Amino acid sequence: MASQASCPLIKNILLLDSEGKRVAVRYFSEDWPTNISKIAFEKFVFSKTVKTNARTEAEITLLDNNVIIYKFVQDLHFFVTGGDQENEIILASVLQGFFDAVTLLLRNNVDKREALENLDLILLCLDEIVDGGMILETNGPLIAEKVTSHSMDGDSPLTEQTLSQAWTTAREHLTRTLLK
């Protein structure tokens, strides 16, 4: 009987603050069908990992048949969750890629305030890393480059702009309209 090779799947990527509250999250699995179950999972994971020392290197744990790789930086907690059969090294590379991209996007100022101010970039970063649970990219600098490659000019369609770029474009158009 031949074993089937499967693509590693990510169940979720969580970015929580030092109190366990959401900063940015993406779920790719139906294991948590409701928002209430997602928040309960986040609180459960946070409560089980908060007392660990995951500041220097990523840590790994197995909770409710999920492999969770996590790392803490200042007041942010980064988590990547996969099934209990997933390769921990692959999950760790996703976590490291996410962390490296966020560090670059936040210009080495990785804290909650800066993350909330640049939430649009972080959410784009999550979209560049995983799509539908499938890993697209794990190279942090490349992820950050893809996120920042969206031009700041107002000629690009709004669907291709980040939220802050769209606001800037709208403000410029409004200013031009008022000055006519």
Residue 139 lies in a domain: yes
Is-contact 28 12, C-beta < 8 A? yes
The predicted structure's pLDDT at residue 162: 61
pLDDT of residue 3: 46
Residue 1 inside a domain? The answer is no
Does 3 reside within a domain? no
**Residue 121 structural domain:** 10-179
| Cβ atoms of 140 and 104 closer than 8 Å | yes
CA angle (136, 72, 11) in 5-degree steps? 35
What is this structure's pTM? 0.78
CATH number of the domain that residue 97 is part of: 3.30.450.60
Q: Residue 151: its pLDDT value, please?
A: 39
Q: How many domains does the chain have?
A: 1
5 falls within a domain: no
pLDDT per residue, tens digit, the chain (180 aa), is: 444 557 889 999 999 999 999 999 999 999 999 999 999 999 999 999 988 887 778 889 999 899 999 999 988 999 999 998 988 999 999 999 999 999 998 888 888 998 998 898 999 999 999 988 899 999 988 888 888 885 344 455 545 556 666 677 777 777 777 776
92 assigned to some structural domain: yes
Task: Say if CB 96 and CB 139 are below 8 A apart.
Answer: no
Three-state DSSP at 156 gives coil
In a domain, 35, yes or no: yes
Residue 54 lies in a domain: yes
In a domain, 79, yes or no: yes
Query: Is 45 within 8 Å of 79 (Cβ atoms)?
Result: yes
Residue 103 makes CB contacts below 8 A (sequence gap 6+) with 110, 140
The interaxial angle of helices 119-129 and 140-148, nearest 10 deg, is 120
Cα 20–Cα 112–Cα 50 angle in degrees, nearest 5: 30
